[in-house]
Amino acid sequence: MLAEVGIAVCVGVVALEWLAGALYNASRSSRRAPSSPPEPPKVQSGITTRYGWVAVAAVCAILAIAGRRYFDHLTVAALWVRIIGLAVLAAWTLFTLWARISIGGMWTAMPRLQGGHQLRTHGPYAVTRHPIYTGGLGMLVGLTLLAGVGQWLVLFPACLIVLEVKIRMEEHLLVAAFPDEYPQYRQHVPQLVPGLHALRRRAH
């Protein structure tokens, strides 16, 4: 019961926030004057991957289902593991909402930059360069613990690979759009793991 309620609330809140943001962006676009057409994207990926992401999602689902027979023995029934998972899920849900609100109307489902795109370096973007993805992975860790691990364990590396591919596409666009600012920003802020640059500096 704890797992079902926690997952439904946290995932539902994120989904509602995404829907509200999409509706707001759509209404804002519809209010633009006909004489002032929207500015075309400054930089845009030449790869149309909409169906590709659907295929990736299908592969992840298959991995989760097929992995059940191999990972069921890793299921943990301890209540303390699920409580930690709920706390992790709640914390990263708030971080994900913060990141999504911070980027506002510049968020897009596919890797591309809109006209007038501004480089975000403050708020959650001072923690990691891709805080929405960081939050999503953190939520997945929480979901995995809350569900008792098991077949959920196979989803983390699969999602990490997918996000890494998407991040490389996005960073290629960002370097092209901000050739001076983005390399400097990338030197000081880690890609996904908060505090990673600080740990590396201490290690050296």
The band of 79, judged by pLDDT with boundaries at 50, 70 and 90, is confident
Q: What is the pLDDT of residue 48?
A: 42
Q: Which pLDDT tens digit goes with each residue over 8-40?
A: 888 888 888 778 776 766 676 666 545 444 444
Q: Both ends of the chain: CA-CA distance in Å?
A: 47
User: Is residue 96 within 8 Å of residue 132, measured between CB atoms?
Assistant: yes
Phi and psi, residue 47, nearest 5°: -100, 120
CA angle (124, 155, 7) in 5-degree steps: 65
Residue 163 has pLDDT above 80, yes or no: yes
Classify residue 77 as left (phi > 0), alpha (psi -120 to 50) or beta: alpha
Looking at domain 46-203, its CATH architecture is Up-down Bundle (1.20)
Residue 51 has pLDDT above 80, yes or no: no
Q: Which residue has the higher pLDDT, 192 or 114?
A: 192
User: Which CA distances in Å does 129 have to 94, 97, 123, 144, 170?
Assistant: 17, 15, 11, 24, 11
Q: Distance (Å, rounded) from C-alpha 199 to C-alpha 204?
A: 9
Residue 44 has pLDDT above 60, yes or no: no
The band of 41, judged by pLDDT with boundaries at 50, 70 and 90, is very low
Neighbours of 108 (CB within 10 A): 16
Q: Where are the domains of the chain?
A: 46-203
